Amino acid sequence: MSDEQGHGHEEEGFGVALGFRILEVDGELYMAEAEISAYVDDPNALGATLVFHPLSELDPTSAPDEDEDEESGARIDIDDELTRDETAPMREQFQAILRQLAGLSAVELADYMQQALEEAGIEDE
């Protein structure tokens, strides 16, 4: 998904993944994470993908499962919804994206999560 949208999550390159909000939807807790990285075809422009990780099975007292897929979670690219100057310096683009993530309401975030779950084929319970 995100590679098709122009991000290089599996390509060589750098980016950052930030868990920025915990939300509850229908009694289930999820961590909203933003992956912010440069486009594959334009390394001077940043974009973002939201990833929603379910927290209901997480046990903070157990060792991490080595078999666990690091790419788990429902993903959705939000590049088209972002407002930033893709020609600005990276730090300015990064700050603009962070400000927009901080400003997302719980309703907006839940809507993105629902879209991501639908795209991933994960049914609501």
Q: Walk along the chain (125 residues) and give the pLDDT tens digit of each residue.
A: 334 444 444 445 679 999 999 999 889 999 999 999 999 888 999 999 999 999 988 888 988 775 555 567 899 999 999 999 999 999 999 999 999 999 999 999 999 999 999 998 876 54
In which residue are the tokens 């879209």 written?
Answer: 115
User: What pLDDT score does 122 carry?
Assistant: 76
State the pLDDT at residue 66.
59
Shortest CA distance to 24 belongs to which of 101, 110, 100, 102?
110
- Predicted model pTM: 0.80
Q: Identify which of 113, 125, 106 has the alpha carbon closest to the alpha carbon of residue 26.
A: 125
Provide the 8-state DSSP code for 18.
E
